[in-house]
Amino acid sequence: MKTREWVLMVAFAVLLPLVLASGAWAERGVTDKEIRIGQYGPQTGPAALWGAVARGTGCYFDMINAEGGIHGRKITYFLRDDGYMAPRTKAICKELVESKEVFAMASGVGTSPGMAVKKYLHKKKVPWVGPATGSTHWAYPPTKYLFAVYPLYIDEAAMLVNYAVKNLGKKRIAFFYQNDDYGREGLAGAEYALGKLGMKLVAKVSVEVLDTDLSSHCMKLKKAKPDCVLMWLLPKQGAIILTTAAKMGFKPLWMTSSTLSDTPIMYKITRGLYKDVIFASFGEGPNSQHPLMKKYRAAHDRFAPKDRWGVFFYAGFIFVEPMVEGLRRCGRDLTADNFVKAMESIKDFQGIGPKITYGPNRRQGARSMFLAKCGDKGTFIRLSDWLTSDVDLKEVLKRLGR
Amino acid sequence: MNVLREYSSKRVLLAAVIAAGLAIMLVAGCATAPKEFDPTIKGPQMIVEPDTVSTGVVSLLRTPLLFRGKGFDPGDSVFVTLVNVNKGGKTVHIPIADGEVDKNGHFTAKVGTLVKVAELLNAKLGSNKKLESIVIVSRPPIPPGTYTARAVSMESDKIAVCKVTFVPPGLLDRFKDWVGKKKGKIVFK
């Protein structure tokens, strides 16, 4: 062998370990000391109230970092304001994945923004945990890197119907919903549950997102003489329908989705009409004495004291608790594929949200919720223990044409 | 007398019909033919309709602003960004529309209401005491001028560009906004 070849071989032998050690072939977004995680969420615009989720996640990661991080790595968190506008969500995700090189995406408010980037994140093999909506689109059909946490709107509606009929003796149920995926999935869950009880809705009335005069909708509902109305709406429309109904002397029992579970806010914007409204909840109440809630409140006071401690803020903890559990189970050898395996090993994990179980072909982590109602001055009153859905999702999805 | 009155009303009617006819001809004459892609361009390209838009609140919200593109990879998705916009003293790129690429490599991307309000009018959606939606304008809209709109592929390096022009509201547009203000649907702060 010539001298030059010998030199090249020696150089290769010396340099190879150095290159490997430098992390040149490392996983995207993971270094010796850091895990990069991104999230989009509306910090401005009409959905800004829900943007607290993304700040809550930041607070949770601050707490994890203060405790030493995960296997010696700190989380570097990138929060971006998408204003609830899908074009911005797309631009943000491209930037976070291709420029900031995040390892994973956390949560993310809104079905429409999330759907805009779902395919892209999958193709780029970006793990994504806990989109902040109860849509079936995240886990049905399951995809490798996407893990849903938020319980399904279908399950929420079915649980509320069962509670209204079985526990409260309601006989005439109506459904008032936003004419989109969110509303239609709630409607499908309610119709399924009533069908199992041998009943039908006495009225179903839809509303468009930008409608603000709900008088005619309210008249239609009133005419059907329901003793209970489930509303699947935006918070503002929830406030409008309660105000309109009160003016018309229409006083059924109102029930609603977890998306309207921020009782202090709803109580305030309805000027007290939200009192006694029953809703589904995916997490402990704001004043819960659960040990983790005490710990999280302390984290809030330390890292985000200017943010209001409300359900949407700590929802940002709930949606990523399983992600941190997955990172812990993964150990030091953190790759997207190893993370997926670690997530798939999670069974009956519970933080302050519902019990979470994943598996090789299971991406919907939770199908449990509990029911609560709004008390005086917007207090959160728990009505039930955790309830698990018995909805046959195959059948409901078939009805939805999926 | 009756004959005179009948004659007079017939004249008014005739004048109204002529005026309406002229107005229709005028509008029809102003209408432009739908834009078509340039067949000589082989790579990605994009067109926008209309290519000139008023920044009057009512006018902008009522004008469908649609980007169409071709030459992208089937199954890809795109977002359309306005390049180098002066926003609050900073020069930024603003994503304003998005769409999915079909099996022929085409896409359509419509600028939504929220984007028009937040990104082009620099305004906010709010509510009045009846909780009705209103537009709150506290800052000037996008500065008048011709901008490059760039369609960016999510999954490849493909891009396409076209030009779109924003003009200050004319007399009619300002009148429409005045009516909106009087009705309480637009609030200028």
Reported as a single tens digit per residue, the pLDDT across A318-341 is 999 999 999 999 999 999 999 999
Mean pLDDT (whole number) for B110-137:
91
Interchain contact B96–A (C-beta under 8 A): yes
| CATH code that applies to domain A34-151+286-366 | 3.40.50.2300
The position carrying tokens 């509320």 is: A160
Instruction: Count residue pairs from A and B with Cβ separation < 8 A.
Output: 62
Residues 33 through 92 of chain B touching chain A, CB cutoff 8 Å: 77, 79-81
Average pLDDT over residues B52-66: 97
Same fold, A34-151+286-366 and A153-281+370-399: yes
Q: Which candidate from B95, B125, B133 shows the least CB-CB separation from A87?
A: B95
- CATH for A153-281+370-399 is 3.40.50.2300
pLDDT reported for residue A218: 97
* A158-179 per-position pLDDT tens digit: 999 999 999 999 999 999 999 9
Q: Do A90 and B95 touch (CB under 8 A)?
A: yes
CA distance B153 to chain A (A): 10
Comparing CB atoms, the residue among B98, B125, B131 nearest residue A87 is B98
- The number of residues in chain B equals 189
Domain ranges of chain A: 34-151+286-366, 153-281+370-399
Do the chains contact at A84 and B114, CB–CB below 8 Å?
yes
Whether pLDDT at A19 is above 80? no
B-chain residues within 8 Å CB-CB of A45?
Answer: 114, 118, 124-125
Cβ atoms of A120 and A146 within 8 Å: the answer is: no
| Tokens of residue B83, six digits | 């390049």
pLDDT tens, residue by residue, A22-54: 444 579 999 999 999 999 999 998 888 899 999
**CA nearest to A285, candidates A293, A296, A277, A273:** A293
What's at B40, amino acid-wise? T
Mean pLDDT along residues A249-261: 97
For residues B189 and B138, is the Cβ–Cβ distance under 8 A?
yes
Which pLDDT score, from 0 to 100, does residue A12 have? 52
| Nearest Cα to Cα of residue A238 among A219, A202, A205, A214 | A214
Is the pLDDT score of A112 beyond 70? yes
The pLDDT confidence band at residue A21, using thresholds 50, 70 and 90, is very low
A213·B132 Cβ contact <8 A = yes
Mean pLDDT of B74-82: 97
Rounded Cα gap, residues A169 and A164, in angstroms = 6
The interface predicted TM-score of the complex, written ipTM, equals 0.85
Angle, vertex CA A162, rays to CA A384 and CA A188, nearest 5: 120
Nearest to A90 among B113, B127, B154 (CB): B154
Look at B112 and A85 and tell me if their CB atoms are within 8 Å.
Answer: yes
Q: CB A91 to CB B155 under 8 A?
A: no
Contact, B76 vs B156, CB < 8 A?
A: yes
Q: What is the pLDDT of residues A185-236, one digit of tens each?
A: 999 999 999 999 999 999 999 998 878 889 999 999 999 999 999 999 988 8
A271-323, pLDDT tens digit by residue?
999 999 999 999 999 999 999 999 999 999 999 999 999 999 999 999 999 99
More confident residue, B140 or A17: B140
**In this predicted structure, what is the pLDDT of residue A272?**
98
User: According to the model, what pLDDT value does residue A23 have?
Assistant: 45
pLDDT, one tens digit per residue, over B97-114 is 999 999 999 999 999 999
* Yes or no, beta carbons of A239 and B131 under 8 Å apart: yes
pLDDT band, residue A400 (cuts 50/70/90): very high
Q: Is the pLDDT of residue A20 over 50?
A: no
